[in-house]
Amino acid sequence: MKAVSHSRRLTLAALVSLGALIAFTAFKLFEPVFVYTAGWYDLPGRADMPLTSEAADPDDPRSEQAGKLLLAAYENGAMPSISVAIGSSTGVIWRGVVGYAELETGTRAGFDHAYRIGSTSKALTSIAVGQLVARGALTLDQELGPIAPDLPEHLHAITLGQIMSHRAGVRNYGLCLCFPVWEYYNRREFESLSELASDRLAGPLLFEPGSHYAYTSLGYNLAGLFIEHASGSGFSDAVSTLVLTPAGASHSGLDGSPGLTIVQHYDVVDGRYKPVFDIDNSIRGPSGGMVSTPTDLVHIGGMMLDDAQLATGAREELLSIPESGRDNGGEIYAHGWRVYEWPHLYGRESLTYNHNGVGFGGRSIFAILPEHDLIISVVTNQSGESIDDLVPLTRELVDLFMASHEGG
């Protein structure tokens, strides 16, 4: 009897251990879902939140109206903060910020607070490539194989241009045998872009490279390997040398870079907030893992308008839209930039090249209107699946700061 009883206890203990293991595994696989259900707090009131603004010309009559537009967007929305800068190839014309960098402490957002800019990172990566193209260190038809021979063989023949225009046939983020089960919620730190590519891109391509368009942030990360090879340094250092330092963008870099003051990023639903799920952005560095300020982005955008900072030929290559894959968004996607006609509120259109971004607790709009020598950046520290609620403010500010509706 004692032996039977002991056996039952062992069996029960084994079942309890197995159940605990299953429960723990399920939690880790679906952790974002479980975490999302708890820890919500009421948003503080939005009325009478002070605006911080600054104009290059203190007497510019547009500044007061710009401040009113920004305050209205903040008061009518649910974003913890909104930060904006608008400028030209010569620098910032006006900038403003309102709201909280950190709700828990009541810390107000300032001009030097950096935000996650999501896929707007692709534009910064594109400028880095442009700099190397201008120097003759890279070409858009260069193949991946010679610079990364250890990657899976099916990746060797795809070119830098196909990668940057989302025509390489590489998949986007999806499910994985990892914790959590969604790559998008990655918590693993990848030590290098080579490790990321080797680990996550072993599967087959979606189509023959160059034949179709399929937007892929995971695939765009491969552009970072070209930058590293041509520059002889790691991606973070290369972007700093090629883009951030020349632009004077001292408050930008990869997410988590030392020395940056980064806002807290939030989910906001029905008037309640919570910090976003804690992810590791090393899975999306060149494609969506950067942080920046609107002021820095205006300065960076100025590089796309200044032949002295980026040669015309290199810029034209970046902004050229491939002939193939011109559907489902491919008709406006060049190489790290969307190129199309910007619809103004008063009915006309103007050429723009831009990139938007959505991510964990951050959304951004970054647009350049070369015909008007105008650049705008709008960021917020609220998650979302689109930038639709930021578009009206952006369009109003663009039209406000255009030289004139008739000649601008």
For residue 26, the model assigns a pLDDT of 87
- How many angstroms separate the Cα of 288 from the Cα of each of 34, 75, 246, 373? 25, 28, 21, 26
For residue 346, the model assigns a pLDDT of 87
- Residue segments in the chain with a per-residue pLDDT below the cut of 50: 404-408
By C-alpha distance, which of 254, 146, 130, 134 is closest to 192?
Answer: 254
- Answer yes or no: pTM beyond 0.85: yes
For residue 2, the model assigns a pLDDT of 58
**Residue corresponding to tokens 């990657």:** 151
For residue 15, the model assigns a pLDDT of 82
Q: DSSP for 232-267?
A: TS-HHHHHIIIIIHHHT-TT-EETT-TT--B---EE
The token duo for 306 is: 């200044």
Q: What is the pLDDT of residues 81-132, one digit of tens each?
A: 999 999 999 999 999 999 999 999 999 999 999 999 999 999 999 999 999 9
**Coil, strand or helix at 74:** helix
For residue 406, the model assigns a pLDDT of 43
Compute how many other C-beta atoms are within 10 angstroms of the C-beta atom of residue 202: 11
Q: In what order do the strands lie in the sheet with 272-275?
A: 41-42, 272-275, 266-269
The token duo for 305 is: 């308008």
